[in-house]
Structure 1
C-alpha cells in the first residue's frame, strides 16, 4: 500500500498550509493537481470546495474538515483518524461504519461495492 506523501505540488501545498481560498480560486480557474495519497495531517481544510477531487489513499489525521462537502469527491482508502468532521457530507458509497472506524481507529475507508 502506498504511504501518504508530502508532495511538492503547489496546489497541494496551498491546502496543507491552510490557504483553502487560494486553492479554490486556482481550481475554479482550471488548475489541477494530484491529491491522491497526500498527507493532510492537522490541516485546516474548512471552506474547501471538494467537488470532483480525488483524495484516494490520503491521510487526514486530526485535520479540520468541518462542513466540507465530500459528496462528489473520492475518499476510498483515505483515513480520518481524530479529524474534526462536524457537518461533513461524505460520499454515499461510504457506510457510516467505515467512517466511524476510520475516525476512531484510523482504518482506511472502503467503498460499498454494488451487488
Structure 2
C-alpha cells in the first residue's frame, strides 16, 4: 500500500526519491498543476476522462467496462483471478481524483466530464 501511495505522490510531483528514501516536496499544491500531472503522469487517467461524456452520467462500472481493454497485459498475468477487481477499484479512484481536481463531477447517477 505504501509503495502505491509513494508512486502516486511521485506522479503528482508531491514527493521524490532521494538517496536516503522518499521526501515530501515542500510547496503548496496547485490544483491546476495537480490536475495536469494526474492526466499526464498517472496511467489510465486520460483514458478514463476520454470515455466520460460531458452530456450524460456514467456509473463507475460503465466507465470500467469502457476502460477494461486498456488494462496492461502484464497486469492480467500478474493475478488473473483479481485483475478486474483491482482495476475496478483503480478506475473508481481515478474518477474520485478527477472529481477532486475539477476534471469530472459526480452525482447519484454517476460521473461525467466537466
TM-score (norm 2): 0.28
Larger Rg: 2
The structure with the greater share of residues assigned to helix is: 2
TM-score (norm 1): 0.27
The structure with the greater share of residues assigned to strand is: 2
